[in-house]
Amino acid sequence: MTKPDVVPFSKNIRWLAGGTGIITGSIFLVDFGLGFLSAFLVVGALIAGRFPQRGKELTWFGAGVVSLTILPLSIWVLFHALDGTDPWFTAGSAVSVLFIVLCDAALLIEAINRKRTRMR
């Protein structure tokens, strides 16, 4: 029984996932210590070119972890921006929300497109 070929992520998705991991990691490592959770995205994006299956799995896992932990925290920071939060941290949280949403959307669109091409 042969294993089906794994189609690797496009370079754009790998760059977006890696960039999202670096941005969210650098912002939330200093203030909340949760930045290490973004390492899954970065490592997944790095190894996806050489090991497509493991890279995809790690990137999807990282996107899930970041979406469940850092996204709600970023949104909370934005809601409390007028409470005296550092403006740089507030701006970083806004950028984090943007990148996390874009990364999740890109991963979902890529998965839907791959599914459609397999069904044809």
| 120 domain-assigned | no
* Domain membership flag for residue 42: yes
| Tens of pLDDT, residues 18-67 | 999 999 999 888 777 888 889 999 999 999 988 999 999 999 999 999 99
106 located within any domain:
yes
Whether 100 maps to a domain, the answer reads yes
pTM (two decimals): 0.87
d(CA 72, CA 87): 18
Residue 67 near residue 104 (C-beta atoms within 8 A): yes
Task: With respect to residue 56, please indicate whether it lies within any of the assigned structural domains.
Answer: yes
Count of structural domains within the chain:
1
In a domain, 4, yes or no: no
Do residues 73 and 54 lie in contact, with contact meaning Cβ atoms separated by under 8 Å? no
CB 27 within 8 A of CB 89: yes
**Residue 2 belongs to a domain:** no
Give residue 32's domain range.
11-115
CB 4 within 8 Å of CB 54: no
